[in-house]
């Protein structure tokens, strides 16, 4: 894992998974729900709270888009 230096004021350290590590994580996950969560976090850059706030009504299967309400209630 690659450590990343965080801005002053942040007490927790951040790390990033490599592309291969993400693929292995998805491969070894059985539930579709968990695979989707991993992909949204890794490939779409969603924050944890953004992921937690997604409702079924936010997902449009016809256009393959998900409505995301981000920080300060800004649409992403």
**pLDDT single digits (tens) 3-22:** 655 556 656 677 788 999 99
The more confidently predicted of residues 2 and 17 is 17
Whole-angstrom distance, CA of residue 18 vs CA of residue 25: 11
Residue 34 included in any domain: yes
SS3 70: coil
In a domain, 62, yes or no: yes
Does 5 reside within a domain?
A: no
Inside any domain, residue 3: no
Answer yes or no: is 36 within a domain. yes
Asked whether residue 54 is assigned to any structural domain, the reply reads yes
- The number of angstroms, rounded, from the C-alpha of 10 to the middle of its chain's C-alpha atoms is 20
Could you read off the pLDDT of 39-67 as tens digits, one per residue?
Answer: 999 998 888 889 999 999 999 999 999 99
With pLDDT > 70 as the criterion, what percentage of the chain qualifies?
76
Output the pTM of the full model.
0.68
């Amino acid at each position: 894992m690659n450590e990343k230096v965080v801005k002053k004021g942040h007490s927790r350290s951040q790390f990033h998974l490599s592309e291969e590590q993400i693929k292995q994580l998805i491969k070894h996950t059985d539930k579709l729900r968990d695979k989707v969560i991993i992909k949204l976090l890794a490939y779409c850059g969603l924050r944890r709270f953004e992921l937690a706030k997604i409702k079924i009504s936010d997902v449009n299967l016809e256009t393959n888009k998900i409505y995301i309400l981000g920080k300060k209630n800004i649409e992403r």
